[in-house]
Amino acid sequence: MTMAVTQVRLPEGLIKEIDKLVDSGIYTNKSDVVRDALRRLILEQQVGTIKNTGDSVKEIRKIRNKLSKGKISLKEINSLIN
C-alpha cells in the first residue's frame, strides 16, 4: 500500500502519550498510533449515520476493512453506509 507523508505538529503531552503506547508494545511506531486514531475517528463519526438494518455490525466491519486497506475518500465511506 502506498502512503503519503503528512507532517503534524502535536503538543508535547500527546507525544508522551503516543510514546507510552509504542513503548508498551501496543503499537509498532508513532505512525501506527496516528493511523489507528484517525481510522477510529472516521469510524466513530460514520457509525451514527449507518441505517439500523439489523446488519449494523456487518456494515461497520465492511467500513473498517475498507479503511484499513488504504486510500478511501469520505464520499466512498458514505457510499458504503447508504
Q: Is residue 15 part of a domain?
A: no
76: closest CA among 57, 58, 60, 63? 63
Q: Is residue 42 part of a domain?
A: yes
pLDDT of 82 strictly over 60: no
Q: Between 78 and 3, whose confidence is greater?
A: 3
Q: Is residue 63 part of a domain?
A: yes
Q: What is the domain extent for residue 75?
A: 28-81
Q: Is residue 55 part of a domain?
A: yes
Q: Is residue 23 part of a domain?
A: no
Q: Is residue 12 part of a domain?
A: no
**Pseudo-torsion of CA 50, 52, 55, 59, nearest 10°?**
0
Q: Is residue 35 part of a domain?
A: yes
Determine the average pLDDT of the residues in 22-46.
Answer: 90
| Number of separate domains in the chain | 1
* Confidence tier at 29 by pLDDT (50, 70, 90): very high
Q: Is residue 5 part of a domain?
A: no
pTM of the model as a whole: 0.58
